[in-house]
Amino acid sequence: MIKELIETGTLLQVKAGDEAEARKIGTLRGGSCGMIREDGTIVGACAAEAWARYKGINGMPVNISKELMFAGGRANEDLWLASLKESYKGPILCEEDIPLVYETNSGIKVTGRPDIVLCEGEENKPVCLLELKQVMASYSAYNVLIKKTPMLKHVIQAAWYTYQLGCNGELWYTSRQNITCDAWMDHNPRFPNPGEPGSENFNYRYYRLGKINARSGKPTKHKSNEQEFHTLNPKERRAEVKNFLPFLQGFLLDIDSNGQVYVQDAMVEGAQWKETTVNINDIKRWYNYIADLEKKTKVVPPSYRNVDIWGEDIGFKFESQFGPELDPAKWEGKPLELWLSELKERIK
C-alpha cells in the first residue's frame, strides 16, 4: 500500500509542477540561464532548450527516481531555512515571497525565484542572496570541495539574481551523505593529507609501506590504522581518501561596474577573489537572443560551448532533456517550428 501511495503522491506533485509551468508560457526563467558572447558564441547552456521551456515544453516526463533526487534538493532548501530562522534576526524571504522580473529589449519578461534572501528593516531591504545546491555525486563533490570550482550554470544563476537584487550574493553547496571517492581523483589537485586543513571532510584508508615490489617498482602496502599512521615516518606511510564526509562549501560573489563576476572561497578567511568567465552583459544578451529567436533567427540555434567558470573547455556536454532523437544539436539550423512540432508530438 505504502509503495502505491508514495508513487501516486509523487506523480501528483510532478503533475502540479507541470501545470504551474504551463501557466508561465511566454516568460523566460531565471533558472534557465546561459550566456552569449559578443561574437555570438553560446556558453554554458542550450539556447534551444531554454526557448522550448519559454514555449511551455520542459522535457521528457520525469520518472520517480529523478523526482526523488529533485525532492532532495527542495528539502535541502527547507533545512537551510529552518537553521537560518534560528540564527538570523531579520526578515527572510524565499522564492514566491520575493519574485524577480526583468524585461528583455523586446519586452519579454524573465522571471526568477531566489532560494533565500536575507533582508533587513520593515521594508525588507535585501542584504544577501543565498543560492543553494545539493551535492549528490562524487564528480560534483570533487569540483566544489577540492578544485574549488562551482558549476558554471550555478554561478550564472546566482550572479543574475545578485545583480537584480543589488545586494551581496553567495552560492552554497551542501552534501548530506558520505560519497565514495573515485580512484582517478587522488592525483591533481591532490586531497589534503590526514591532519592538514580540509582533511576533516574525508575518511581515509591507512597503509604502512614495505619493501619495493620488483615488478611494479612501488612499495608494498600493508593495512594500518590512523593511530599507527601518525607514529610512522612520512616515507613509511600512505593515506588514501575513502570517501567525502557530509560538508558545506560556499562561494561569495562580486560584480564589478563592467558586469564581470568574481568568486571567493567562503570557507577560507581572506581568500583571493578570482575572476570568472561570467559577465552580466552576456547573460542579458542570452535572454534577448532567446526572446527574439523565432522572429529573427527562426532556426534551431547552434550548440553551446561547455566551459567551466574559468572559461576552460570541459570535455563533455550534458545529455539533452529531450532525448537523443530530439537533441537540438541534431536539429541545428533547421526550422524552429518544425522542431517545436516534433517536441509537441512526442512529449505529451
292-329 per-position pLDDT tens digit: 999 998 999 999 999 999 999 997 777 888 888 899 99
Q: Is the dihedral of CA 6, 11, 14, 20 positive or negative?
A: negative
Of the candidates 219, 256, 220, 225, the one whose C-alpha atom is nearest the C-alpha of residue 239 is: 225
Contacts of 169 (CB under 8 A, 6+ apart): 128, 129, 131, 158, 159, 161, 162, 252, 253, 255
pLDDT confidence of residue 186: 64
- pLDDT digits over 191-228, tens only? 898 989 899 999 999 999 988 888 888 889 899 999 99
What's the mean pLDDT when you consider all of the chain? Answer: 90
231 compared with 348, residue with greater pLDDT: 231
Q: Are 249 and 267 in contact (CB under 8 A)?
A: yes
Enter the C-alpha cell of residue 270.
581572506
Residues 223, 236 within the same domain:
yes
User: Are residues 204 and 59 located together in one domain of the fold?
Assistant: no
In this structure, are 120 and 223 located in the same domain? no
Domains held by the chain: number: 2
Side chain identity, residue 166: G
Q: How many CA atoms lie within 13 A of 273 on its CB side?
A: 9
Does 217 share its domain with 95? no
Choose one of 224, 244, 264: the last residue of a domain.
244
Using pLDDT thresholds of 50, 70 and 90, give the confidence band for residue 12: confident
Whether residue 209 is found in the same domain as residue 332: no
Examine the domain organization and report whether 200 and 172 are in the same domain.
no
Residue 132 banded pLDDT, cuts 50, 70, 90: very high
User: Is 264 found in the same domain as 138?
Assistant: yes
Cα 209 to chain center, whole Å? 40
Q: What is the mean pLDDT of residues 49-66?
A: 80
Domain containing residue 210: 181-244
Measured in degrees and rounded to the nearest 5, phi and psi for residue 183 equal -60, -35
Note the pLDDT of residue 69: 73
pLDDT for 71 equals 76
For 64-97, what is each residue's pLDDT tens digit? 777 777 777 888 999 999 999 999 999 999 989 9
- Residue 246, number of CB atoms within 10 A of its CB: 12
pLDDT for 61 beyond 80 = no
Question: Are 117 and 13 contained in the same domain?
Answer: yes
Return the pLDDT at 46: 94
Residue 113 · residue 29 · CB < 8 Å: no
Q: What is the mean pLDDT of residues 234-238?
A: 90
Same domain, 37 and 96: yes
147 shares a domain with 54? yes
Domain boundary among 228, 244, 260: 244
Question: Quick one: 224 and 331 in the same domain?
Answer: no
Least Cα distance to 198 among 154, 147, 135 occurs for 147
β-pair partners for 279: 260
Residues sharing a CB contact under 8 Å with residue 331, sequence separation 6 or more, in sequence order: 48, 300, 338, 339
Are 64 and 171 contained in the same domain? yes
Residue 20 has pLDDT above 90, yes or no: no
Strand partners, 29: 111
* pLDDT value at residue 143: 94
Indicate the burial class of 3 (C-beta count within 10 angstroms; 0-12, 13-18, 19 or more).
Answer: exposed
Q: How many other CB atoms sit within 10 Å of the CB of residue 141?
A: 23
Distance of alpha carbon 129 from the chain centroid: 16
Reply yes or no on whether the pLDDT at 187 is more than 80: no
